[in-house]
Amino acid sequence: MTEHQTENNSPNNKDWYLFYGDGQDHHINIKQKLKSPPPWRKFLEIQQEDLPAIQERWQKIQQLANSPENERGQEKGKKFRVSSQLTSANNDSDEEETSINNINKITVLDAVNAAILLRRPLLVTGNPGSGKTSLAYAIAHELKLGTVLSWPITSRSTLQDGLYAYDAIARLQDSQLIIDPEKKKLLDIGNYITLGPLGTAFLPSNYPRVLLIDEIDKSDINLPNDLLHLFEEGKFSIPELVRWADTANIETSKIEEKEEKQGETVKPVTVRTEDPDIKATIKAGRVHCAEFPIIIMTSNGERDFPPAFVRRCLRVRMPDPDPESLKEIIKSHFDDDSYQNMKETIDKLITDFREKEATERATDQLLNAIYMRNNLNPESFTEDIQNLLFKSLSDTDEQ
């Protein structure tokens, strides 16, 4: 057991941890160990009649997580190591804020576990290549929470893009082509609605899903504010299904005039989800989470966010790995024999990699250099090749 693991497992310090960031199986049953949410962060209570369908969907999610289709996601989570270095609890990268003596010092592990406990999104900043995206995969892998639901953000991304898509044109075309009354049932509106990664993450479940909202700083200026209600209430509506439910209620009431009014009698609509070949049922067009998802939002620090949005998040800066952290990362990607045979070379490459600390470089640049050095003759791995691999991410004209 490493020193890092010993510290994390200390009963006096880290007994509240669920996530240790070391890629190991800690045999944690998150449902049993996760403490009750704060009173102001409680969400939907799952009804007994809904439980079998929810459990069946979760079993399919677990099967998907262990399938060949998710092999890359599994590897990302298994290989990533979360640094135990102290870092800033906010987005400020000034030298004063990154001083070891600053009282505002935490670890990324502290921030992740606090976000899980408080049912709050985590806004992660840091240099490109510092591991912000891989953090989500590490959480899903270590806590066995299925596949990561990923929503990559662009300047054109809207809230609805993340929640769901409704293909009205396809439905109209099918209605014109299908004449057979028996096949008319294929026109059920649920066949034309697909929940996006954001919408899928908020489906009721006994376990939280891991949602990655990648590079949110590239979004339109309104998107962070649009997310506020969802993050606060844990629910959203699909207007097309709400209208469908209202229409169905009217038709049902006409047929059942002899019966007393008993509230909503609409049959749930089955829709596709972001998870391949996995569907979910939605009642009356409304989705309400039972367990708030573990939301990792990444940012390269290219913009500031509204105070109301920031207030609803926990924030942490991903530190640039120190030499010891880099060695742990390298060990996770190469077998022991390769590492031991190249130990001196790896130490030198780490020194060269960190030579200009102010220069933005990604960890995978170092991994690329080690791989090439391990597979080329020493004479072939020239200084020019190394300079190519270690080129700054922030200066494309660096010599």
- 84: pLDDT strictly greater than 90: no
3-class state of residue 212 by DSSP: strand
- 265: pLDDT strictly greater than 60: no
pLDDT band at 359 (very low <50, low <70, confident <90, very high): low
Nearest to 162 by CA among 240, 90, 219: 219
Q: Can you tell me the distance from the alpha carbon of 299 to that of 128, in angstroms, rounded to the nearest whole number?
A: 9
Mean pLDDT, rounded, for 336-353: 90
pLDDT band at 356 (very low <50, low <70, confident <90, very high): low
Dihedral sign for Cα 50, 52, 56, 59, please.
positive
- The model's pLDDT over 254-264, given as tens digits with 9 standing for 90+, comes to 434 434 444 44
State the pTM of this model: 0.86
Please count the other Cβ atoms lying within 10 Å of the Cβ belonging to residue 179: 8
CB-based burial, 57-75: b 16+ in 10 Å, e otherwise: bbebbeebbeeeebeebbe
Which residues have CB under 8 Å from 102's CB, separation 6+? Answer: 88, 96
Mean pLDDT, rounded, for 28-35: 90
pLDDT band at 267 (very low <50, low <70, confident <90, very high): confident
- 280: pLDDT strictly greater than 90: yes
pLDDT band at 64 (very low <50, low <70, confident <90, very high): very high
Which residues have CB under 8 Å from 22's CB, separation 6+? Answer: 2, 4, 5, 8, 81, 82, 142
Considering only CA atoms, give the Rg of the chain.
25
- Mean residue pLDDT of the chain comes to 85
Residue 23 tokens, joined:
């890629």
How many CA atoms lie within 13 Å of 343's alpha carbon, on the beta-carbon side? 5
pLDDT at 4: 43
pLDDT at 339: 87
- The model's pLDDT over 205-249, given as tens digits with 9 standing for 90+, comes to 999 999 999 999 999 999 999 999 999 999 999 999 998 877 765
pLDDT at 8: 43
pLDDT at 171: 85
What is residue 283's DSSP assignment?
Answer: B
Name residue 380's beta-bridge partners: none
pLDDT at 316: 95
Top-confidence residue, 152 or 363:
152
Most confident of 2-6, 52-56, 183-187: 52-56
Residue 208 tokens, joined:
């939280």
pLDDT at 80: 92
pLDDT at 248: 60
pLDDT at 186: 59
pLDDT at 109: 96
pLDDT band at 395 (very low <50, low <70, confident <90, very high): low
pLDDT band at 366 (very low <50, low <70, confident <90, very high): very high
- Cα angle 18, 20, 21; round to 5: 130
- 340: pLDDT strictly greater than 50: yes
Nearest to 208 by CA among 143, 275, 113, 282: 143
Q: Quick check: 261 and 54 in contact, CB under 8 A?
A: no
Q: Is 298 exposed, middle or buried (0-12, 13-18, 19+ CB in 10 A)?
A: buried
pLDDT at 224: 96
Mean pLDDT, rounded, for 114-136: 94
- 332: pLDDT strictly greater than 70: yes
pLDDT at 188: 84
Domains of the chain: 3-317 (3.40.50.300), 323-389 (no CATH)
Q: Distance of CA 239 to CAs 103, 144, 194, Å?
A: 47, 33, 14
- The model's pLDDT over 151-181, given as tens digits with 9 standing for 90+, comes to 999 999 999 999 999 999 988 888 888 776 6
